[in-house]
C-alpha cells in the first residue's frame, strides 16, 4: 500500500472504525520507518487540535452580521464625503470583505449547529474504591477511587476517556473494537479483561485475558500487542513504550472483595495480600516463604487474615502501622519449592 492509502487508515483509527486486519497493517506501516511515524504524529496532532478547540466567547451571528452591514454603510458614506474617488471603485473591495464576513458567519453557524446537535458526555467519577459502571454495550468497568470515565451516550464508537485507574471486562464485538483513551495513550481491544492505571508520570496496561493493542497517541513508538500476564508501560517524560512479561496478576486485586488460595506458597501469597490490604510484609525466616497455605481472605478484615495465617501456619505476627512481620521456625518448609 502507498502512503496515500495509509492516510485513510489513520483517520479511521482516530474514529475507531478500523478492523482488526487494518489495525495490523497500520501498525506494520508505522514500524517500517520514522518518517511514517512522523506522518502519523502530524495527523493525530491536527486531529486533537481540531477536536479540543473551543471558541472563547459566545457569538451572536445575527447581531454580528447587522453590525457588519452598518459599519460597511458608514464606511461608504465617510469615503464619499472625504474623497473624490468614485464610489464605484470601492465595491470590489467591499464585496470581497462582505464575502469573507459571510464565510466566517457561515463557519460559526455550522460550528454552533454541530455543537447543539452533539449530546453531552456521560461522566462518572468514583468517590469510593471499586465503583462499578455498566456501559451501554454491557461491558463492565470497575473504577478505583478518584478515577473518572466519560463517553458518548449512544456509545456507537465504543470509546471512553479515562483518568485514573480502572479494571475493564469488555463485551466481545469483532465488528466494533473497544478503545480507552488517556492523555497520552490509546488501548484497543475486541473483548478481554485488563487493568489500566493512568498516572501523570506513566500509564500501565496489564492484561488478564484476551489480547490488547497498546500505543501512544502521538505515534512516536510502535504499538505493543499484549497477551495475558503481560504489561505495557508508557513513560510520559521519556515518551517511551515498553513491555514486561510474567506479571503476577494476583497482585492486581484492588477491584476484588475476596481472594482465595489453594496450596500456594507464602512467597506468592504475601505480595498479593500486601496489595489487597495496602500493607507491607516481612518474614523473620526466609524459609517461611516456601510454606503453603489454603484459604480465603475478605477485604474488610486484615486482622482476620493475620489470624488465619497465624493459626493455619503456626506463625506469630507483630504490626506497626502498615508494616507487618511474620515470625516462625519455617520447620518442614525448606524442601518445598516456590
SS3 letters for the chain?
A: CCHHHHHHHHHHHHCCCCCHHHHHHHHHHHHHCHHHHHHHHHHHHHHHHHHHCCCCCCCCHHHHHHHHHHHHHHHHHHHHHHCCCCHHHHHHHHHHHHHHHHHHHHHHHHHHHHHHHCCCCEEEECCCCCEEEECCCCCEEEECCCCEEEECCCCCCCEEEEEEEEEEECCCCCCCCEEEECCCEEEEECCCEEEEEECCCEEEEEEEECCEEEEECCCCCCCEEECCCCEEEEECCCCEEEEECCCCHHHCCCCCCEEEEEEEEHHHHHHHHHHHHCCEEEECCHHHHHCEEEEEEECCCHHHHHHHHHHHHCCEEEEECCEEEEECCCCCCCCCCC
What does the pLDDT average to over 125-146?
94
**Residue that is last in its domain, among 191, 215, 249:** 249
- pLDDT, residue 80, reads 45
Asked if the model's pLDDT at residue 313 lies above 60, the reply is yes
Give domain status of residue 338, yes or no: no
Give domain status of residue 336, yes or no: no
Query: Domain residues for 192?
Result: 122-249
Total count of domains within the chain: 4
Residue 67 sits in the same domain as residue 129: no
Task: Place 132 in a pLDDT band, splitting at 50, 70 and 90.
Answer: very high
**Residue that is last in its domain, among 249, 283, 298:** 249
Residue 45 sits in the same domain as residue 65: no
What does the pLDDT average to over 124-135?
93
For 166-212, write each residue's pLDDT tens digit: 999 999 998 899 999 999 999 999 889 999 999 999 999 999 999 99
Claim: this prediction has a pTM higher than 0.75: no
Amino acid at each position: 500500500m502507498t502512503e496515500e492509502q495509509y492516510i485513510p487508515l489513520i483517520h479511521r483509527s482516530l474514529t475507531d472504525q478500523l478492523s482488526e486486519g487494518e489495525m495490523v497493517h497500520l501498525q506494520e506501516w508505522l514500524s517500517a520507518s520514522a518518517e511514517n511515524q512522523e506522518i502519523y504524529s502530524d495527523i493525530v496532532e491536527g486531529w486533537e487540535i481540531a477536536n479540543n478547540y473551543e471558541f472563547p466567547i459566545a457569538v451572536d451571528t445575527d447581531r454580528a452580521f447587522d453590525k457588519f452591514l452598518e459599519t460597511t454603510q458608514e464606511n461608504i458614506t465617510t469615503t464619499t464625503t472625504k474623497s473624490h474617488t468614485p464610489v464605484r471603485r470601492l465595491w470590489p473591495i467591499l464585496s470581497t470583505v462582505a464575502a469573507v464576513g459571510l464565510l466566517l458567519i457561515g463557519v460559526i453557524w455550522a460550528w454552533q449547529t454541530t455543537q447543539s446537535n452533539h449530546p453531552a458526555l456521560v461522566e462518572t467519577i468514583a468517590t469510593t474504591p471499586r465503583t462499578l459502571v455498566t456501559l451501554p454495550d454491557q461491558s463492565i468497568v470497575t473504577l478505583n477511587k478518584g478515577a473518572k470515565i466519560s463517553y458518548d451516550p449512544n456509545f456507537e464508537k465504543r470509546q471512553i476517556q479515562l483518568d485514573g485507574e480502572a479494571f475493564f471486562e469488555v463485551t466481545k464485538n469483532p465488528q466494533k473494537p473497544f478503545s480507552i483513551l488517556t492523555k497520552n495513550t490509546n488501548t484497543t481491544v475486541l473483548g478481554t479483561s485488563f487493568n489500566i492505571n493512568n498516572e501523570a508520570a506513566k500509564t500501565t496496561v496489564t492484561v488478564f485475558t484476551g489480547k490488547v493493542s497498546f500505543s501512544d497517541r502521538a505515534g512516536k513508538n510502535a504499538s505493543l500487542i499484549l497477551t495475558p500476564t503481560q504489561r505495557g508501560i508508557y513513560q510520559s517524560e521519556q515518551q517511551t513504550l515498553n513491555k514486561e512479561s510474567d506479571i503476577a496478576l494476583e497482585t492486581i486485586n484492588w477491584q476484588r472483595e475476596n481472594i482465595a488460595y489453594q496450596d500456594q506458597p507464602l512467597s506468592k501469597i504475601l505480595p498479593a495480600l500486601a496489595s489487597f490490604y495496602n500493607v507491607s510484609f516481612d518474614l523473620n525466616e526466609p524459609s517461611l516463604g516456601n510454606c503453603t497455605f489454603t484459604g480465603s481472605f475478605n477485604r474488610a478484615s486484615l486482622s482476620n487474615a493475620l489470624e488465619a495465617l497465624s493459626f493455619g501456619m503456626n506463625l506469630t505476627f507483630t504490626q506497626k502501622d502498615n508494616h507487618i512481620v511474620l515470625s516462625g521456625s519455617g520447620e518442614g518448609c525448606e524442601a518445598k519449592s516456590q
